[in-house]
Structure 1
Amino acid sequence: MATHLSCLRRPLATRATLMALPVLAVPVLAIAGATGAAAGGFGLREQSAYYQGYSFAGTAAGGDGLASMFWNPAALSFSPGLNMEANVTWIAPHASIDVYRATGPLFGNNLGNVGIGDIVDDGAVPATYITYAWDRIAVGLAVNAPFGLITDAPCNWSGRYYGCYSRIFDMNIQGSIAYKVNDWLTLGAGFNVNYIDARLSNAQILSAAPLTFGAAQVDGDSIGYGINLGALLTLAPGTTVGLGYRSQIDQGLSGTITPLILNNPVAKLPAQAGLTLPDQATLSLRSKLTPNFTVLGTVEWTNWSTVQELKVESIAAPDSVLNLQWKDGWFFSGGVEYQWDPKLALRAGLAYELTPVPDATRSPRLPDTNRLWLSAGFTYAVTEKLALDVAYTHIFGEDAPIALFPTEPANALRGSLVGSVNDGYVDIVSLALRYKFDSPVSAAPVYTK
């Protein structure tokens, strides 16, 4: 963040920049684990209890879980008639930040070694899906949260100039349609409306003459739009391959910067920051090897390299640019399902995710690292129409360094912070209810399970 003449440019850069950085999502609370969120960058993968039991293997290849439409609109569950699914996921992340060395801005004074025992908060993520199918056409509606982040540190810790509190709310509404071209090919498309609201804070120099230390808070929101495309191929009865694509969404965050002295606001300044939410491609396989045994797999690419720098603009201060240099994110998962009896299906999954955040730009606002997923779950058919999905996941986050210095122009008024992210893990519990209403006589399934 560049420095403001007296009190503006730094707040603007810091606030707005960060406002763009953690753009997140969660209809209730977004969560970020030691691994950033429960997915790479500030993404949230927790859209479905059904697929969570597989560690999200097979997401774009269809199945009983209606959430498949999120990854691939062609994979709308073409169960005849009207179907509904309601999910709620509780995410309990943990991440510690140890501080080896921290200095203040301008004078390089020693800020001590006060770290944070747990910088991330727990939260709930809801997701709802509705589908309707007749003949060769199916339509669907989804309301969920594709991104998310909450980090919370007291503004007296040693890294306070690099972040204190970050809260971001995001909601996504997706409408989708799929058409069965023939017995082996289904195509789909969707449209997304994404809303983001953010509040971020950190310590900073508010004025150079006289020299005044304090904090600043930024509030902003935005609405953006995107599309989904997908194809579902039925290679054989019980075997499907799905390919889905979610487009980039451009967000123009606008709001205010509020400098604070002893937690009291001294001004409100208009600010804006641009952010491009990344596009994503998902390739999945689902194959029923026997009447009771199914295997699944997914490879997913997320174009986080769109987040190279964040530019903050304000009529009250010069533009400020933060250099991030994020890389593309990758997710690999495999899962199995065993139909224990007509009412009970058991599933398990394993996944590995590569963080898009380089060591050189890792921040306490988003302490994202590589992670390993282990998941288990089950579906219990309460009745012929009503099913209950339950899943549990434990994510192991890798330790990773934090090394931020004022030699980077964006950090000129932040001093230095050298430390590490460690003891990172996330526990996730997800529940869902799926209900099938009466089916119209003319409805025809699009793919064979």
Structure 2
Amino acid sequence: MTMRKWAVRAAPALALPAIMIAAGEASAGGFGLREQSAYYQGTSFAGDAAGGAGLASMFWNPAALSFAPGLSVEGNVTYIAPHASVDVFSATAPLTGASLGNLGVGDIVDNGTLPTSYMTYAGERWSVGLAVTSPYGLVTDAPCNWSGRYYGCYSRIFDMNVQGSFAYKVTDWLTLGAGVNVNYIDARLSNAQFTGFAPPANNLYAQVDGDDIGYGFNLGALVTLAPGTTVGIGYRSSISQDLGGTLGISLANIVPLNKLHATAALTLPDQVTASFRSQLDPSWTILGTVEWTNWSTVQQLVVKSRGVPVSTLDLQWNDGWFFSGGVEYQWDPKLALRAGLAYELTPVPDSTRSPRLPDTNRLWLSAGLTYNFTPQFSVDFAYSHIFGENSPITLSPADPSNALRGTLIAEVNDGYVDIVSVGLRYKFDSPAGTALAMK
């Protein structure tokens, strides 16, 4: 059998199973991105489904559309600077068991910029809204000569979601909301391909590109318990994505050998967010959020090429949980200050953690502010620092899906994320003082 034919047959089993885990050290559990709003980032997203001046509350709860009367628009830009090192203790080649050394990666995750935008119109009873966001993404990037190269080199997900929602005020204390989501995903990943030669002679590489559009829905309720106190609950449905694209195989990552059609089915998880917001007095407001994400739907990924299953990746993810609390202080009529603390449980178990997604439990610390230049125009600013826990990577051919990937014993450490976000918000036809009254 020629090297070209061997590579064409074997590469799908190695390259494709990671198509859906290209997010790297994402700043939410799994490969999720939580940074949809500078306003709510200032409280570590405490209170994000309970309404507020931030229009992004509709992302978590469509019923929150009713919170800001009139026509409003908001745009946010968030810069995410993650860091995670992978120290390799032991790595061996597939089949031969030859040592691959202990060359790790000093920083396996790349920085990224996340823009989001929102538009809402709230009348006396009916409200409508449109949001463009990016709920998933980020990148892991390792040189393809590192000791874990068979488990991944470069991985990326680009994701864009368009959400259209409406809300109806049933009573003075109850608002219900619903909407639809259209989600586009584009993924690319690469890894070294074992050829049967003793390392480091291996110089075969595989790269997969795939994309798809999926559809989902969102539901929500906003309850006013007392003046200034609201409780919100929102549901975002799962979205089925059938990624289709190409698997390219090359020599030395330069000379193309072949290109195949490949597919991989992925279900993005459904999510429930519950929040409260209570204004204790004209100056102080307390906030909280509990969020559950159904990552346990991600158990296995079956990969097909030309309609034939070629590989199964055993992930065995758990549900994800996020807990946050925050405070807001109205310094004066123009300036509001806020801060928040959160803790997030990763859905990725130690037994299946991959260098393509070195996700760990994390602690959030955030601070932010809103400055109202006029009753209609305001600016939000927020900064967060996320502390990641050190966690192991223990991958071996004991899992049959890793038969051609060898053994990798490593640790993810020095994990952290710095996040800076800026948002602009304008209320076109709000009466004077609305921005402060509805904060």
Task: Indicate whether the TM-score tops 0.5.
Answer: yes
Cα distance in 1 between the residues matched to 2:352 and 2:236: 26
Q: Higher RCO, 1 or 2 (CA under 8 Å, sep at least 6)?
A: 1
Query: C-alpha displacement at 1:9, in angstroms?
Result: 4.6
Instruction: Please show how residues 353-368 of structure 1 align to structure 2 within 5 Å.
Output: 353-368=344-359
Instruction: Please show how residues 33-44 of structure 1 align to structure 2 within 5 Å.
Output: 36-44=25-33
Query: C-alpha displacement at 1:134, in angstroms?
Result: 1.6
**What secondary structure is seen at the aligned counterpart in 1 of 2:14?**
helix
Asked whether the equivalents of residues 150 and 194 of structure 2 are also in contact (C-alpha less than 8 Å), the reply is no
**Equivalent residue for 2:20?**
20
**Equivalent residue for 1:242?**
232
Query: C-alpha displacement at 1:7, in angstroms?
Result: 2.0
Residue deviations 1:43-83 (CA, integer Å, cap 9, x gap): 00000000000000001000000000000000115322210
Instruction: Please show how residues 270-289 of structure 1 align to structure 2 within 5 Å.
Output: 270-289=261-280
Asked whether the equivalents of residues 92 and 407 of structure 2 are also in contact (C-alpha less than 8 Å), the reply is yes
Query: C-alpha displacement at 1:212, in angstroms?
Result: 6.7
Cα distance in 2 between the residues matched to 1:5 and 1:42: 34
The answer to whether the aligner puts 1:256 opposite 2:246 as a matched pair is yes
Q: What amino acid is aligned across from residue 434 of structure 1 in structure 2?
A: R
**What secondary structure is seen at the aligned counterpart in 2 of 1:360?**
helix
Residue deviations 1:98-143 (CA, integer Å, cap 9, x gap): 0000001110110001000000011100000000112201100000
**What secondary structure is seen at the aligned counterpart in 2 of 1:321?**
strand
**What secondary structure is seen at the aligned counterpart in 2 of 1:7?**
helix
Unmatched segments (≥5 aa) in structure 1 = 25-31
Structure 1 residue runs of 4 or more that deviate by more than 6 Å after TM superposition:
none
Query: C-alpha displacement at 1:213, in angstroms?
Result: 4.6
Unmatched segments (≥5 aa) in structure 2 = none
Query: C-alpha displacement at 1:206, in angstroms?
Result: 4.9
The answer to whether the aligner puts 1:134 opposite 2:123 as a matched pair is yes
**Equivalent residue for 2:381?**
390
Cα distance in 2 between the residues matched to 1:402 and 1:322: 16
Cα distance in 1 between the residues matched to 2:115 and 2:195: 39
From 194, 204, 218, give the equivalent of 1:228: 218
Instruction: Please show how residues 393-408 of structure 1 align to structure 2 within 5 Å.
Output: 393-408=384-399
Cα distance in 2 between the residues matched to 1:156 and 1:230: 48
Residue deviations 1:222-251 (CA, integer Å, cap 9, x gap): 000000000000000000000000000000
Cα distance in 1 between the residues matched to 2:329 and 2:202: 64
Instruction: Assess, with a 3 A threshold, how the Cα gap between structure 1 residues 124 and 251 changes in structure 2: closer, same or farther.
Output: same
**What secondary structure is seen at the aligned counterpart in 2 of 1:60?**
coil
Query: C-alpha displacement at 1:438, in angstroms?
Result: 1.8
Q: What amino acid is aligned across from residue 294 of structure 2 in structure 1?
A: N
**Equivalent residue for 1:181?**
170
From 62, 75, 84, give the equivalent of 2:73: 84
Cα distance in 1 between the residues matched to 2:307 and 2:386: 43
Cα distance in 2 between the residues matched to 1:394 and 1:379: 19
Q: What amino acid is aligned across from residue 417 of structure 1 in structure 2?
A: L
The answer to whether the aligner puts 1:143 opposite 2:128 as a matched pair is no
Asked whether the equivalents of residues 9 and 320 of structure 1 are also in contact (C-alpha less than 8 Å), the reply is no
**Equivalent residue for 1:295?**
286
Asked whether the equivalents of residues 294 and 319 of structure 2 are also in contact (C-alpha less than 8 Å), the reply is yes
The answer to whether the aligner puts 1:304 opposite 2:298 as a matched pair is no
Query: C-alpha displacement at 1:411, in angstroms?
Result: 0.4
Query: C-alpha displacement at 1:412, in angstroms?
Result: 0.2
Residue deviations 1:292-315 (CA, integer Å, cap 9, x gap): 100000000000000000010112
**Equivalent residue for 1:61?**
50
Q: CA RMSD in A?
A: 2.0
Cα distance in 2 between the residues matched to 1:201 and 1:265: 14
If the length of structure 2 is used for normalisation, what is the TM-score? 0.95
**Equivalent residue for 1:107?**
96
From 99, 102, 124, give the equivalent of 2:113: 124
**What secondary structure is seen at the aligned counterpart in 1 of 2:18?**
helix
Residue deviations 1:321-372 (CA, integer Å, cap 9, x gap): 1100000000000000000000000000000000000000000000000000
> How many pairs were matched up?
430
Cα distance in 2 between the residues matched to 1:89 and 1:12: 35
Query: C-alpha displacement at 1:163, in angstroms?
Result: 0.4
Asked whether the equivalents of residues 53 and 67 of structure 2 are also in contact (C-alpha less than 8 Å), the reply is no
Query: C-alpha displacement at 1:384, in angstroms?
Result: 1.5
Asked whether the equivalents of residues 9 and 318 of structure 1 are also in contact (C-alpha less than 8 Å), the reply is no
Asked whether the equivalents of residues 6 and 207 of structure 1 are also in contact (C-alpha less than 8 Å), the reply is no
**What secondary structure is seen at the aligned counterpart in 1 of 2:116?**
strand
Cα distance in 2 between the residues matched to 1:69 and 1:351: 21
Instruction: Please show how residues 158-237 of structure 1 align to structure 2 within 5 Å.
Output: 158-206=147-195, 213-237=203-227
Q: What amino acid is aligned across from residue 15 of structure 1 in structure 2?
A: A
If the length of structure 1 is used for normalisation, what is the TM-score? 0.93
Instruction: Assess, with a 3 A threshold, how the Cα gap between structure 1 residues 309 and 49 changes in structure 2: closer, same or farther.
Output: same
Cα distance in 1 between the residues matched to 2:196 and 2:309: 15
**Equivalent residue for 1:11?**
11
Query: C-alpha displacement at 1:207, in angstroms?
Result: 7.4
Asked whether the equivalents of residues 65 and 77 of structure 1 are also in contact (C-alpha less than 8 Å), the reply is no
Asked whether the equivalents of residues 71 and 429 of structure 2 are also in contact (C-alpha less than 8 Å), the reply is yes
The answer to whether the aligner puts 1:331 opposite 2:322 as a matched pair is yes
Asked whether the equivalents of residues 8 and 317 of structure 1 are also in contact (C-alpha less than 8 Å), the reply is no
**Equivalent residue for 1:424?**
415
Cα distance in 2 between the residues matched to 1:365 and 1:346: 37
Cα distance in 2 between the residues matched to 1:281 and 1:194: 18
Asked whether the equivalents of residues 14 and 404 of structure 2 are also in contact (C-alpha less than 8 Å), the reply is no
Instruction: Assess, with a 3 A threshold, how the Cα gap between structure 1 residues 267 and 132 changes in structure 2: closer, same or farther.
Output: same
Cα distance in 1 between the residues matched to 2:349 and 2:191: 22
**What secondary structure is seen at the aligned counterpart in 1 of 2:7?**
coil
Moved more, 78-87 or 345-354: 78-87
**What secondary structure is seen at the aligned counterpart in 1 of 2:401?**
helix
Cα distance in 2 between the residues matched to 1:322 and 1:356: 16
Query: C-alpha displacement at 1:14, in angstroms?
Result: 2.6
Cα distance in 2 between the residues matched to 1:440 and 1:392: 30
Asked whether the equivalents of residues 328 and 337 of structure 2 are also in contact (C-alpha less than 8 Å), the reply is yes
Residue deviations 1:26-53 (CA, integer Å, cap 9, x gap): xxxxxx4xxx300000000000000000
**What secondary structure is seen at the aligned counterpart in 1 of 2:194?**
strand
Asked whether the equivalents of residues 61 and 177 of structure 2 are also in contact (C-alpha less than 8 Å), the reply is yes
